[in-house]
Amino acid sequence: MSLAETTREAVRSRPFLYSALRAGILNYTATARFLSDEVGDDTDAISTALTRFADDVPDFHAERRDVRVVMQSGLGMADDDPLLVVGDAGFTPDSGSLTAVIAAGNVDAAALSHVLARLVTDDISVIAAAVAEESLVVVVERRDGANAVRGVEDALDSVPDFGGR
């Protein structure tokens, strides 16, 4: 595999670098140093490969999602009429100390990814999360509920468009 191909693969395996490249905010020299252990010692060549790769990626675009976000407190792990099931874990209203943040509307996996990244940035631990049809649900500790609602709303105001390829 050529150095250019190896560089592209290394960037694609790190979504934060790919997003920065698309947004035009990637420092090529710093990124070349960051990738040098994996790609090769010639940081000038890696930097050049990054510059050429930037010409081939679509520009970064974000879209506002049309959603309604609500919070439902009192979730717990139980099998009776669950609001959310992930694997073998069911989360049922009125049975615990967790909170669900529910976004209904124009949601998909890209929206969930962006929401999770935002909540991580806000230092909010997510207990469970899922998206299906027109619903996105994240389960957090009760004390994080209000901040999670704000984070979800904010994240859904600017979801990166990954379809620009």
Two structure tokens written together for 29: 């020299």
pLDDT at 163: 56
Q: What is the pLDDT of residues 4-57, one digit of tens each?
A: 999 999 999 999 999 999 999 999 999 999 999 999 889 999 999 999 999 999
- Whether the predicted pLDDT of 63 surpasses 50: yes
* 3-state SS class at 18: helix
62-160 is classed CATH 3.30.70.260: yes
pLDDT at 99: 97
pLDDT at 165: 37
Q: What is the pLDDT of residues 67-122, one digit of tens each?
A: 999 999 999 988 788 888 998 889 998 879 999 999 999 999 999 999 999 999 99
Two structure tokens written together for 41: 């010692």
102 touches 129 (CB < 8 A): no
Nearest C-alpha neighbor of 84 from the set 105, 104, 100: 100
Going from N- to C-terminal start, the domains of the chain cover 3-56, 62-160
Residue 19 amino acid letter: S
111 touches 156 (CB < 8 A): yes
